[in-house]
Structure formats: C-alpha cells, structure tokens
Homo-oligomer: A and B are copies of this chain.
Amino acid sequence: MVNNMKVLASGVFDLLHYGHIRFLEEAKKLGGPDAKLIVIVASDETVTRSKGRPPVIPEDQRRAVVESLKVVDEAILGYRDMNLDKVIKTIKPEIVAVGHDQHDIEEEVKRLIAEKGYRTCVERIGRFGPDDLNSSSKIKRRIAEGSRRRP
C-alpha cells in the first residue's frame, strides 16, 4: 500500500450536516490509516451554473467550515468551472471518493482516467441514514415549511 494515500472528495457543503461528516469519514478510510483527505468545495459560480441558483452560504465560508473538521486535512475552493481534469492533475489523488448522488463527477473522473491514463481510482460511498436530515435540500425544505406555518 502506498504511504499517505491522498483521497479526494468534493461537494457544495451549503448547510453542513451529519451526513456530510459521515461521507468524509468513509472517504478518508478508503486511503488507510495514514490517509490525507483533501476536499474540493464547489465555487459559488459552479453551484449557480449547475443548480440554477447560488448557495445560501458564500464559498469562502463553506470552505472554512469544511477545513475546520477533524477529518479534513485540506479544503480547497474549486475552480470556477469545477475543472476536474486540472484538479486531478494538480492534487494527484490515489482515490477519488464520490457520494451516492455524485454520478456526474463519477462519470467525468472515469472518462478522464480512460482518456488520460491518470493513476487514480473512483470509489462510491454509500448513503447514510436515508430517514435522517442528511441532505441540504431536505433541511432547506423543512426550514421553508416551518416558516410558511409561521407567516
């Protein structure tokens, strides 16, 4: 096994919740006991382009919150266009961990490996606690519903 394997994970982390932390913990485990977990936090521009609206929390604060987690060794703000090719070329991770709903990223990394021969592998992390509030969208929905009941 390679020493100090670098695991790369990514996400928006708009409202940090327990599901994010479990995802990052499982991602880091993939790299063994001395793994280094590097997290790419999607820029406001990337989020706005893919979701049609900006995140609630600005990118610099989302990055700082992610880097304040014990499990995270380094949190880096993503390129404005989330250029995965450039990210992998720069960071050279042994493993790219993707969440259960990050199909686009999984496909893109697989395409890059096939085309460019990067020495990295993609690993999918399961979903945690489907009944819990383990999704920023679910949390936002619950807040919005609560506010409509109290106009």
Contacts and interface: CB of A to CB of B under 8 A. Distances in A.
Interface stretch (A81-89, A103-111, A141-149): A141-149
A70 interface: yes
Contacts of A71: 68
A56 B146 contact: yes
Interface residues of A, number: 27
B15 A139 contact: yes
A14 B77 CA distance: 25
Interface in A47-97: 53, 56-58, 61, 64-65, 68-71
Interface in A92-151: 132-133, 139-144, 146-148
Copies of this protein in the complex: 2
Interface string A11-47: 0000111100100000000000000000000000000
A79 B123 CA distance: 41
Contact of A56 (B16, B65, B139, B148): B139
B21 A133 contact: no
Nearest to A64: B18
A143 B53 CA distance: 12
8 contacts: A15-B139, A18-B64, A21-B68, A61-B133, A68-B69, A69-B69, A141-B147, A147-B147
